[in-house]
Amino acid sequence: MPVIFGKAPGKIILFGEHAVVYGQPAIAIPVMDVCATARVLPILTEEAGRVRVQANDIHLDALLDDLPADHPLAAAIRATLGEITPQHTPSFTLQLDSNIPISAGMGSGAAVTVAIIRALSAFLGRPLPNERISTLAYEVEKLHHGTPSGIDNTVVTYQKPVYFQQDEPLQTLSIAQPSFWVIADTGEKTPTRETVAAVRAGYQADPAGYQSIFDAIGAIAREARQTLSAGDLAHLGQLMNENQSYLEQLQVSSPALEALINTARGAGAAGAKLSGGGRGGNMIALVPPEKTRQVSAALQNAGAVRVITTVLKESTP
């Protein structure tokens, strides 16, 4: 039996994080420069259903039966087995590799889950369609995030720029011209679950005030969609800056994020904001093509622990 692979890219949110949890639209793109890979290797044994999970990045080498129910890798495997219900579960080793930064707003959890579901469903002889993969991955995302909007599993499964709104059919984006994005990691790690809970507490304390911020962020995401399809990158940059100021009002920014955001703007970015859950993790800057090196170097000098440049174009991936 051949080794079966499943892959999924990283992702980054361009507009609309947090407000998306409250029903507003958001825009996210896949980042094909980083990815998660799952490999399924059959184990030749008389014993049925012996499943071994190996993930070098997190120093895991365990039998599925020994992993707790809420372990995200185990949950992804069990969800796929449950979906396909093979009469005789074969014995296999599932190996995982990922170079997507963890807890940095790049969708590493969703990508690992999607890679597992893709590889394992193919191994079991029933490769699942994207819609089903995304739905299963959403269930697993709940273990990572608590109350996820569903944007991560969607963009990572479809590997296309998405305009995402909860409970609405998936909409992909039309992109007028290529744009260059520089993503820099503060090195601070705050789980998304925590920032989502902090925003929820703020919303409960001041529903009207928070709702008006969510509405304003939603309006920015709608305008950004038009602006991307019109190709007006200078205006897109302004929208990023406006989105950042609303994220600061939601108190999910941090001094380290703001230092990198200001560095990028000062080095020639058209706009910059935090991306994802916030209070650390990544910021993202929209950069004119001729300034990508300059902005990347400035971010590195300002202490970013990782800088990635990605291009958004119609043909992504």
Q: Are 182 and 307 in contact (CB under 8 A)?
A: yes
**Distance of closest approach, residue 21 Cβ to ligand PMV, in angstroms:** 5
C-beta closer to ligand PMV: residue 192 or 292: 192
Q: Is 49 left (phi over 0), alpha (psi -120 to 50) or beta?
A: left
Establish whether 152 is a catalytic residue.
Answer: yes
| CA 127 – CA 234 distance, rounded (Å) | 42
**Distance of closest approach, residue 277 Cβ to ligand PMV, in angstroms:** 3
| CA 234 – CA 131 distance, rounded (Å) | 35
| CA 274 – CA 183 distance, rounded (Å) | 9
**Distance of closest approach, residue 199 Cβ to ligand PMV, in angstroms:** 8
**Distance of closest approach, residue 295 Cβ to ligand PMV, in angstroms:** 21
First to last CA, the chain: 29
Q: Are 102 and 108 in contact (CB under 8 A)?
A: yes
The sheet carrying 306-312 orders its strands as 271-275, 282-287, 179-185, 306-312
C-beta closer to ligand PMV: residue 22 or 123: 22
C-beta closer to ligand PMV: residue 18 or 265: 18
Which CA distances in Å does 58 have to 20, 95, 132? Answer: 30, 12, 27
**Distance of closest approach, residue 155 Cβ to ligand PMV, in angstroms:** 10
C-beta closer to ligand PMV: residue 196 or 267: 196
C-beta closer to ligand PMV: residue 128 or 196: 196
Provide the 8-state DSSP code for 182: E
C-beta closer to ligand PMV: residue 153 or 316: 153
**Residue nearest ligand PMV, CB atom distance:** 276
| CA 42 – CA 52 distance, rounded (Å) | 10
**Residues near ligand PMV (CB under 6 A):** 13, 17-18, 20-21, 105, 107, 145, 148-149, 151-152, 192, 196, 276-277
**Distance of closest approach, residue 110 Cβ to ligand PMV, in angstroms:** 7
Q: Are 214 and 247 in contact (CB under 8 A)?
A: no
Q: Given the residues 152, 167, 185, 232, select the one marked as catalytic.
A: 152
Which CA distances in Å does 34 have to 6, 40, 70, 101, 288? Answer: 14, 20, 26, 9, 22
β-strands 51-55, 92-98: how paired? parallel
> What are the catalytic residues?
152
